[in-house]
Structures are given as structure tokens and as C-alpha cells.
Chain A
Amino acid sequence: MAADAHKLEIFRGLLKFKSNVQKIWGVLIFLSIVTTFEVALGIIRPEFLLQDFLSMKLLNWIFILLTIVKAYYIAWDFMHIRDERSGLKNAIVLPLIILIPYLAFILILEADYIFEVMRNGIVSWNF
């Protein structure tokens, strides 16, 4: 890969950098802001974010969403997925974004079922 082959835009072209080095620092600043925001939310835990949304707290959904955002920028800009051919990009990303949510879905559904069984069963677990 030639040194000048980097795509230097992030946020869909909203932010353009002059050089690759500048882009790296820009992404670092963005990742730091997101992490700081997450930690602040985790310490404050605002009341209005503690309500349930799709059987999980809204706050936890925000954390997971922000984590995926961070993962995207680490993979796209630090690991240079952004500069790869779409064939390689898809070969890497598609298996992960199909298999991982699927695995999470079936296991967590099963866990919730077991939780219900343990709660509603006649066996006491708290002794």
C-alpha cells in the first residue's frame, strides 16, 4: 500500500485531514472523548437513562452502542480497513457482524429462559 493511498476523511467526509498522521491524532481525540463520556455516564448513572428499553437499561444500550462506534474507528482507521479493497473488508467484517450478534442472541435468550425457570420453579436457590 502506497503511503498516499490513505482515505483521509472520517464522519462520512465531515472531517477531512491533511495527512495520515493528522488523521490518527484526530481519531485518538474522538476515541478519548467517547471513552470519557462513557466513564462519566458510568459514574453519574443519570436517573432518566435507567429505564428499561428492549429488556435492558437504556444506559447499557448506550454503552454497547458507543463501544461499537469505538470499535469501528479502531478497525477502520488504526487497522486501515478503510483503505482495503471491499472484498477483504467484507471477508473480515461480515462473518463477525453476522455470527457474533447471532451467538449473543441465542445464548442470552436461553439464559433469560433459565432465569425464569429458576425464579418460578419450586426449588429454592437462596439458602
Chain B
Amino acid sequence: MEVTTHSAADETQVWGGGNKPLNASYGKMMMWFFIVSDALTFSAFLVSYGFSRFKFIDSWPIADQVFTHFPFLHGVDAPMYYVALMTFILIFSSVTMVLAVDAGHHMQKAKVTFYMLLTIIGGAIFVGSQAWEWSNFIRGEYGAVETKGGQILQFVDAQTGKRASIRDFATSIASERTTHQSSNGIWYQDEKALTTVTLAEVKAGFEANPNLVIRTQQLNENDQKIDLSRAASLEKIEEAQLVVEGANLIRNEYGNRLFADFFFFITGFHGFHVFSGVVINVIIFFNVILGTYERRGHYEMVEKVGLYWHFVDLVWVFVFTFFYLV
């Protein structure tokens, strides 16, 4: 074994503290560690989404047919434009954040304030857009019926190839049925709000409209949903058990139950990150205005929340790809 010698000066330099082998402050490094662990959490969610999707690869909903709304364009089929817009908004707020960090390096308080404000506005618009997206998703558009096996059957006009809304073709049958609430009757029993049309009405309407056929969950070799023939549809509608309108955590009108669950969970978890990011940005924004960092002599806090904010943007890039594009 070779003998290594150290001078006393080396000794204190290496072991005496004050070294910065990674050249990053404590706070910044902890923010990075948090981001790494959070990235693993998000990747676990996205991978489990991939797991469910590959498990039901021949019957997964097609995102283009689910997310078709754009503000102020009612009834216009606009797949993906809105999420693309949301992506741009978030990337842009990421840019204003990095500009704030850069201005902070130059100790320009006014510029940091301005860019932080833009970042907060961008983040708020994004969270609002996500809420709007959720409300459309929860409300649903066309409605569907569910079979005993949990398969979703949607309705299509065979001539135009367009989706048909159950509320449009259902024949109205007089019914006394109202939502059972815990206030009338046994107090521990109640039920969810009734669907706008009943199963019997949908069935009767379907039988009365010779143009309508059933669209199944199954995909053909070109990854399009398989439509049944009219005869097969009439047979299939008998298997319907429930009317499904919109989406909740149990069932949704778009197809596989897990699809809505993952949508709520992953975009919800991301939305929660954006929301907390906005809150943290607001706090830092006021600290900037109050001159806290000016007195401290550096704007590293802006850099740290900047890291978090970019991370949120980074996650959205992946959510966008795996939920809307792929």
C-alpha cells in the first residue's frame, strides 16, 4: 500500500467544511433532489397509465374523439387545439420565469417583478384552462350506455358517420321516477343524480331511428372504433344496463373506466402542482416587491422557485404527449 501524504493545509481544505464540490447552494440542491423524486412519482403515474393502456390496447379511448372542445366554438370538432394552446401558455410562462431569474442575476428588481407577474398570470390561465377541460370532460357530450360487462356503447349516425347524442334521439316516456334523497325515506340511503334520459327511453329511441348504429369500444387494425351493423346493434342494445353521461371516478361515457380515473388523477396531480407553483410564485413575487432579496443581496430564491416552475412545465410536456398525442 502506498503511503499518501497530506499537508495540513489540504486537510483543512477538504475536511474543514466550506467546500462546494457541486457548486450549488443547499437550497438549490434540495430543490433538485425534490424535483428528482417528484419526477419519479410522475413517471410512475404515467407508466401505470401506459400499463393500463397496453393491457387494453385494443379498446382504449381515442383522445382526439374525447377532447374536442375549444372555447366559444360550440359544436365545432377541434381536437387537441385547446391543449396545444395550454402547452404554449405554460411554455411561455416558463420563459418569463427564466427571464425573471436572469434579471435577478443582474439585480434588476423592476424586471424581476414584471416577469414574475407574467409568470403568475400564465400559470393562473393554465389552471383555469385545466378546470375548463375538466368541466367539459365531466359533463360529457353525447352520452352512452353501459353493458353488464362494463363495456361502453356509443351511438353513431350510420349515414353521416357522426356521433349521436342520446338526449337527441331518446323518445320521451312518462316516468314518475325521481332521485331518491336521504331526506325522503331511510336516512342512510340515497343515490346519485338521475341521468337526463332513462335507459328505456334510449332503447326506444334507438329502435325508432333506423339510421343509428352502435359504436363499440373495440378498435380495428387501423385503430378506429368498430361500428356494428344495424342488426347487430339492435341485438347489442338489449345488453345495455345503464345510461352513462359524462365522467366520474366509476364510469365514463368515453370508454374504459380506467381512462377517466387516470385522466383525473394525473392531470389533477399536475394541476395541483401548477396551483401550488402559482401560490409559491405569488409569495416570492411579494417578497421581490418588498425588497427582501434586494436586501439579501441575491435573488436565489427566484431561481429556486424557477426550478420548480420549469419542472411543472416539463411534466406537462410528458402529460401532453401521453394523454393527447400518443
Q: Which A residues are CB-close (under 8 A) to B94?
A: 74, 78
User: B287 within 8 Å of A by Cβ?
Assistant: no
A35 lies within 8 A of B52 (CB): no
Tell me whether A70 and B317 are in contact in the complex, defined as CB-CB below 8 angstroms, given that A92-B36, A100-B40 are known contacts. Answer: yes
User: A10 within 8 Å of B by Cβ?
Assistant: no
User: B48 within 8 Å of A by Cβ?
Assistant: yes
A85 lies within 8 A of B317 (CB): no
User: B249 within 8 Å of A by Cβ?
Assistant: no
Q: Which B residues are CB-close (under 8 A) to A49?
A: none
Q: Output the nearest chain B residue to A114 by Cβ-Cβ distance.
A: B55
Q: Output the nearest chain A residue to B87 by Cβ-Cβ distance.
A: A35
| Cross-interface CB contact of B80 among A39, A64, A66, A87, cutoff 8 Å | A39
Tell me whether A111 and B36 are in contact in the complex, defined as CB-CB below 8 angstroms, given that A32-B88, A127-B149, A127-B239 are known contacts. Answer: no
- One of B127-135, B164-172, B272-280, B305-313 at the interface: B305-313
Q: Output the nearest chain B residue to A70 by Cβ-Cβ distance.
A: B317
| Cross-interface CB contact of A42 among B151, B306, B325, cutoff 8 Å | B325
A42 lies within 8 A of B40 (CB): no
B residues 268-326 near A (Cβ < 8 Å) are 306-307, 310-311, 313-314, 317-318, 320-321, 324-326
Q: What's the Cα separation between A42 and B36 when bound, in Å?
A: 30
- One of B7-15, B16-24, B179-187, B194-202 at the interface: B16-24
Q: What's the Cα separation between A70 and B40 when bound, in Å?
A: 18
Total count of chain A residues near the partner, CB < 8 A: 56
Q: Output the nearest chain B residue to A104 by Cβ-Cβ distance.
A: B47
B36 lies within 8 A of A88 (CB): no
Secondary structure at the B interface, as helix, strand, loop or mixed, is helix
Q: What class of interface size applies to chain B in its complex with A?
A: 35 or more
B residues 55-72 near A (Cβ < 8 Å) are 55-58, 64
A residues 26-83 near B (Cβ < 8 Å) are 27-28, 31-32, 35-36, 38-39, 42-43, 50, 57, 60, 63-64, 66-67, 70-71, 74-75, 77-79
Q: 29 A-B pairs, CB-CB below 8 angstroms?
A: A21-B102, A25-B95, A32-B88, A32-B91, A42-B325, A43-B80, A57-B223, A63-B326, A64-B326, A67-B318, A78-B98, A79-B310, A88-B22, A88-B32, A92-B35, A95-B40, A96-B39, A99-B43, A100-B40, A100-B43, A103-B43, A112-B54, A115-B56, A125-B149, A126-B149, A126-B216, A126-B218, A127-B149, A127-B151
Please give the residue numbers on chain A whose beta carbons come within 8 Å of chain B beta carbons, in ascending order. 1-3, 20-21, 24-25, 27-28, 31-32, 35-36, 38-39, 42-43, 50, 57, 60, 63-64, 66-67, 70-71, 74-75, 77-79, 84-85, 87-88, 91-92, 95-96, 99-100, 103-104, 107-108, 110-112, 114-115, 118-119, 124-127
